[in-house]
């Protein structure tokens, strides 16, 4: 097929174009066109996902070749510095998720956005993990409670709570809640995994917390004292706890289970858990609009903040553990602010630089702490 040739599939929901991959010279790329008028968003996404699975051009080699490094994580370096890089990239993606959630919250119902992003992520992960499908049921049976709780708290619960919270709480409150994640993870890791942290890690945690506090308060300490508790604040605290639980559970996953299989299982369970709530929200509260923008948003948050970020985060947790991985959650509000500056025309201030410097020093101190000096709490 010629590089410029386009193939329109059923009802024009996606265009499959040939690209070039560094591996074999064959590949494909996917773009979305505006759906026909009058069709519901549910119907649009069902047709899209059905086409994605049914067409061999998309369901087999091309998707695999578009990301030649993606399924090769078992060959990735096991060095802590590499894990830190993965955590930074994950934080960048999750920061964009917060920015998008804040920008579209008036038009996108939270449960519907969470449901469809997980559907998109499941399609991508499922296609890439097609050689491991035979292990899906055994993987579930080997670690039933880990995958069920991970799906409930980390995949379904966290994003539903986050998208709901940003509808009724301020950015300062939401960022402050998320910055508590590194403080919650060590406590949960101590209870569940009996892991510990030393004085240097505590110092790094405190320093990075000060840095994130400067940023979320915009350099004005009076802003923190003016925070009031609302339903959104409570939901953000619940979201923080939910993600902390997932971060610890990832460390407990069965090492016999391929990471792609693990994500396929937890995403499948999350979609099943979300479906009844999604139907209720669509029927009685708010229906997601079907527009070109909505399709792009769903695909972006499904591919990057969900599929890619979770894969990278899980790999990093395997290398450095949940405690150190949790410290990098401080970077999420920083990247969320950066994306807001780029896409929402906000201005870069001095406190961004000061807070970022303190966070960087704190993360370095915590992530390079010697494990040999760790003592049990």
| Summary mean pLDDT of the chain | 73
**Per-residue pLDDT reduced to its tens digit, 173-182:** 676 677 777 7
Closest-CA residue to 171 (of 142, 212, 126): 212
Distance CA 176, CA 98 (A): 13
Last residue of a domain, one of 68, 85, 106: 68
Tokens of 230: 């609302």
- The mean pLDDT value for 248-275 works out to 88
Same domain, 82 and 42: no
Which pLDDT band, with edges at 50, 70 and 90, does 73 fall under?
very low
The domain boundary residue, chosen from 19, 39, 68: 68
Same domain, 150 and 293: yes
CA distances from 332 to 130, 184, 198 (A): 31, 16, 24
Residues 286, 333, single domain; the answer is yes
Task: Point out the domain boundary residue: 68, 84, 114.
Answer: 68
More confident residue, 303 or 38: 303
Evaluate if residue 228 carries a pLDDT over 60: no
Q: Are residues 51 and 145 in the same domain?
A: no
pLDDT at residue number 71 = 39
Lowest mean pLDDT among 137-141, 171-175, 225-229, 243-247: 225-229
Name the pairing type of β-strands 27-32 and 14-19: antiparallel
Q: Which residue has the tokens 């830190």?
A: 84
Question: Is the domain of 42 the same as that of 91?
Answer: no
Backbone angles phi, psi at 202, to 5 degrees: -60, -40
Per-residue pLDDT tens digits for 242-255: 988 888 887 787 87
What pTM value is reported for the model? Answer: 0.68
Average pLDDT on 95-121 reads 88
Q: In terms of domains, do 38 and 155 share one?
A: no
63 & 160 share domain: no
Residue 62, domain extent? 1-68
My answer on whether 31 and 113 are in the same domain is no
Looking at the structure, tell me whether residues 63 and 116 fall in a common domain.
no
The number of domains in the chain is: 2
Domain check: are 156 and 43 in the same one? no
Largest pairwise CA distance in the chain = 64
Check residue 170 and give its pLDDT: 63
Is residue 212's pLDDT more than 50?
Answer: yes
Question: Do 289 and 269 fall into the same domain?
Answer: yes
Does 60 share its domain with 106? no
User: Which has the higher per-residue pLDDT, 180 or 86?
Assistant: 86
């Amino acid at each position: 097929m010629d590089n410029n040739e386009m193939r329109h599939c059923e009802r024009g929901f996606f265009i499959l174009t040939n690209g070039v991959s560094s591996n074999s010279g064959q590949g494909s790329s996917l773009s979305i066109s505006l759906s026909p008028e009058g069709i519901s968003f549910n119907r649009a996404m069902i047709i899209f996902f059905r086409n994605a699975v049914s067409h061999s051009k998309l369901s087999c080699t091309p998707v695999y070749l578009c990301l030649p490094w993606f399924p090769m994580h078992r060959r990735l370096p096991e060095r802590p510095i590499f894990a830190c890089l993965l955590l930074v990239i994950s934080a960048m993606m999750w920061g964009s998720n917060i920015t998008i959630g804040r920008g579209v919250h008036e038009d996108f119902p939270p449960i519907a956005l969470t449901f469809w992003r997980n559907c998109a992520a499941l399609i991508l992960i499922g296609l890439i993990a097609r050689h491991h499908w035979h292990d899906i049921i055994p993987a579930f049976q080997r670690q039933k409670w880990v995958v069920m709780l991970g799906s409930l708290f980390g995949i379904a619960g966290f994003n539903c709570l986050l998208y709901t919270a940003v509808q009724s709480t301020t950015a300062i409150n939401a960022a402050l809640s998320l910055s508590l994640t590194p403080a919650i993870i060590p406590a949960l890791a101590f209870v569940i995994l009996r892991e510990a942290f030393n004085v240097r890690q505590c110092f790094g945690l405190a320093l990075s917390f000060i840095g994130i506090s400067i940023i979320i308060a915009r350099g004005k300490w009076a802003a923190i004292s003016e925070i009031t508790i609302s339903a959104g604040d409570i939901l953000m605290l619940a979201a923080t706890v939910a993600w902390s639980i997932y971060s610890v559970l990832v460390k407990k996953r069965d090492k016999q289970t391929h990471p792609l299989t693990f994500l396929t299982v937890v995403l499948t369970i999350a979609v099943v858990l979300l479906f009844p709530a999604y139907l209720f929200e669509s029927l009685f509260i708010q229906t997601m609009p079907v527009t070109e923008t909505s399709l792009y948003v769903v695909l972006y948050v499904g591919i990057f903040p969900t599929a890619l970020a979770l894969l990278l985060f899980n790999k990093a947790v395997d290398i450095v553990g949940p405690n150190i991985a949790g410290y990098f959650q401080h970077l999420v509000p920083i990247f969320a602010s950066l994306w807001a500056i780029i896409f929402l025309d906000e201005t870069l201030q001095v406190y961004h630089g000061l807070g970022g410097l303190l966070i960087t020093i704190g993360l370095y101190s915590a992530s390079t702490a010697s494990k040999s000096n760790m003592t049990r709490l």
